[in-house]
């Protein structure tokens, strides 16, 4: 039989009212065949009684002589016509009787099991199937996927595929032409999960694995470095930390403090996460931060690193974060600072801080200010493994910083060793004061309302060998 491409799709079909019930058995066989695998399921098989003079009427018994002409087809293909019959037992007690549910199809020279016919005419394609088909197949096959039985590494690989498919959500959304800061949620983390953010609500374990991928990163992911905070000012850094702090990690069963005792432990962890790593069930998203990039203005940098030159300590801003906040990030492993822009507009903003740091051109001295900042940075950031500063005025300054940092690191090592020795000699007799955090200077606080003490140091006047102005603006003379 042959058909033109344009034949009417239903011209060969008997109307459903004439269909013999044997078609139900054939459809069941097709369905069973398709359920073998997702690839088989990917090929639909429609079954319809074909119009043929010799077809039995719809009330005919299904016996050893029963035969029926059937069209097999799916979307986009011409039907394959074949004569079907029930299988008849050839031996045994039921010899000569019809085997229920067993369908045979005439192929070329003989009747064969319907499965073989399907393999020939509706064979599965190579390659992966669409998500939708996979989903439908699992819905139809009556089996369950043993997710909990998978080893954790495999679960992690599976979740990584989700993260791969997620384009990062924009941190800022435009609304009516204005740029609106997204304050809800934690885009630093949720953005990595994209449309898969609901993974965080599946179970403690799936949440834990997903968050670990977001925090620690993986070289196979787009966000290979893990949770990075990029802030162009101290204010935006502060906002980021606050936002992340509002979200608990909740990866353990008892992460929500339920009584007074647990709340105390939570407070303790939040104050000294490095000293109490075993309490990390109370951790928030901010504790997952791995890397920070921070750009600072002159005033912010002087305050952030708690510079004390002259009587500057009276100007530290207690409501803004300083380097001590880094101690509360137990997994922080890389710090990048952009030094204040020496080539920018250098003028005091006395509304911000009642201290003059710029002498006025041509005597502004950003070199002195940079030095104050990075000298302090070298010392207080000594405990951190990777620290990078960018934006030095010249190479000499950078070399100076690197040697100061080396020095501070060696110093720190000696201090740690000495402490250890002391500890051993004393058989562990030293009790650390409660508020001692390694790497953090002892707090020197000045009341905000305290009178401002004027001093001789500020503003520093440029006495550099080559005046700063000449270095920065060679053309201006």
Site residues (vs Zn ion, CB under 5 A): 365, 367, 462, 464, 468
Which lies closer to Zn ion via its Cβ, residue 426 or residue 456?
456
Which lies closer to Zn ion via its Cβ, residue 285 or residue 401?
401
Phi, psi of 63 (to 5 degrees): -125, -170
Which lies closer to Zn ion via its Cβ, residue 68 or residue 299?
299
Rounded to whole angstroms, the Cα distance separating 22 from 61 reads: 9
Cβ-based neighbour number of residue 465 at 10 Å: 5
Q: How many CA atoms lie within 13 A of 170 on its CB side?
A: 7
In the chain, count H helices and then E strands.
13, 11
Residue 134 · residue 37 · CB < 8 Å: no
Q: How many CA atoms lie within 13 A of 457 on its CB side?
A: 12
E strand or H helix at 291: strand 291-295
Which lies closer to Zn ion via its Cβ, residue 284 or residue 364?
364
**Minimum distance of Zn ion from residue 310's CB (angstroms):** 16
Q: 398 Cβ partners below 8 Å, 6+ apart?
A: 389, 392
**Minimum distance of Zn ion from residue 308's CB (angstroms):** 20
**Minimum distance of Zn ion from residue 357's CB (angstroms):** 13
- E strands along 130-238, which residues? 172-175, 178-181, 228-231
Closest CA to 252 of 210, 204, 207, 284: 204
DSSP string for residues in 423-448: HHHTTS-----TT--TT-PPP----T
Which lies closer to Zn ion via its Cβ, residue 257 or residue 467?
467
**Minimum distance of Zn ion from residue 345's CB (angstroms):** 17
Which lies closer to Zn ion via its Cβ, residue 287 or residue 371?
371
Which lies closer to Zn ion via its Cβ, residue 29 or residue 468?
468
Estimate the crossing angle of helix 395-425 against helix 366-380, to 10 degrees: 30
Which lies closer to Zn ion via its Cβ, residue 105 or residue 462?
462
Q: 218 Cβ partners below 8 Å, 6+ apart?
A: 160, 224
Closest CA to 298 of 252, 204, 233: 233
E strand or H helix at 237: helix 234-245
Which lies closer to Zn ion via its Cβ, residue 180 or residue 463?
463
Rounded to whole angstroms, the Cα distance separating 126 from 128 reads: 7
Which lies closer to Zn ion via its Cβ, residue 413 or residue 461?
461
**Minimum distance of Zn ion from residue 359's CB (angstroms):** 9
Residue 66 · residue 86 · CB < 8 Å: yes
Q: For residue 172, what are the β-bridge partners? A: 181
């Amino acid at each position: 039989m042959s058909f033109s491409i344009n034949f009417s799709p239903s011209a060969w079909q008997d109307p459903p009212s004439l269909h013999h019930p044997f078609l139900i058995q054939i459809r069941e066989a097709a369905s069973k065949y398709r359920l073998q695998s997702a690839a088989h399921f990917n090929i639909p098989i429609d079954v319809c009684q074909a119009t043929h003079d010799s077809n039995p009427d719809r009330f005919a018994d299904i016996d050893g002589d029963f035969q029926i002409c059937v069209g097999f087809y799916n979307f986009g293909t011409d039907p394959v016509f074949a004569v079907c019959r029930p299988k008849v037992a050839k031996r045994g007690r039921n010899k000569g009787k019809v085997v229920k549910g067993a369908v045979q199809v005439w192929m070329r020279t003989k009747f064969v099991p319907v499965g073989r016919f399907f393999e020939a005419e509706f064979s599965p394609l190579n390659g992966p199937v669409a998500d939708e088909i996979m989903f439908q197949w699992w819905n139809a096959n009556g089996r369950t996927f043993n997710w909990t039985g998978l080893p954790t590494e495999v679960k992690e690989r599976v979740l990584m595929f989700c993260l791969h498919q997620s384009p990062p959500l924009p941190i800022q959304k435009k609304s009516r032409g204005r740029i609106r800061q997204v304050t809800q949620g934690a885009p630093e983390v949720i953005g990595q999960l994209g449309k898969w953010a609901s993974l965080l609500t599946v179970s403690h374990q799936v949440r834990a694995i997903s968050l670990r991928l977001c925090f620690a990163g993986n070289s196979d992911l787009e966000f290979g470095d893990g949770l990075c905070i990029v802030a162009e000012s101290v204010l935006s850094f502060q906002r980021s930390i606050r936002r992340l702090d509002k979200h608990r990690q909740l990866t353990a069963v008892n992460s929500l403090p339920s009584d007074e005792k647990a709340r105390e432990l939570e407070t303790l962890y939040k104050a000294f996460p490095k000293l109490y790593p075993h309490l990390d069930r109370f951790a928030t998203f901010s504790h997952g931060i791995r890397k920070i990039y921070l750009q600072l203005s002159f005033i912010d940098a002087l305050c952030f690193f708690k510079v004390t030159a002259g009587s500057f300590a009276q100007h530290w801003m207690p409501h803004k974060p300083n380097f001590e906040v880094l101690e509360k990030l137990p997994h922080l492993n890389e710090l990048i600072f952009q030094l204040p822009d020496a080539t920018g507009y250098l003028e005091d903003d006395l509304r911000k801080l009642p201290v003059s740091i710029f002498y006025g051109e041509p005597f502004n001295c950003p070199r002195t200010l940079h030095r104050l900042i990075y000298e302090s940075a070298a010392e207080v950031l000594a405990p951190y493994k990777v620290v990078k500063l960018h934006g030095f005025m010249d190479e000499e300054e950078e070399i100076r910083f690197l040697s100061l940092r080396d020095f501070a690191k060696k110093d720190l090592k000696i201090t740690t060793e000495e402490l250890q020795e002391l500890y051993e000699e004393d058989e562990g007799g030293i009790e650390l004061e409660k508020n001692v955090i390694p790497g953090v200077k002892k707090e020197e606080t000045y009341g905000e309302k305290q009178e401002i003490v004027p001093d001789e140091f500020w503003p520093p006047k440029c006495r550099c060998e080559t005046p700063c102005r000449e270095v920065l603006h060679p053309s201006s003379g």
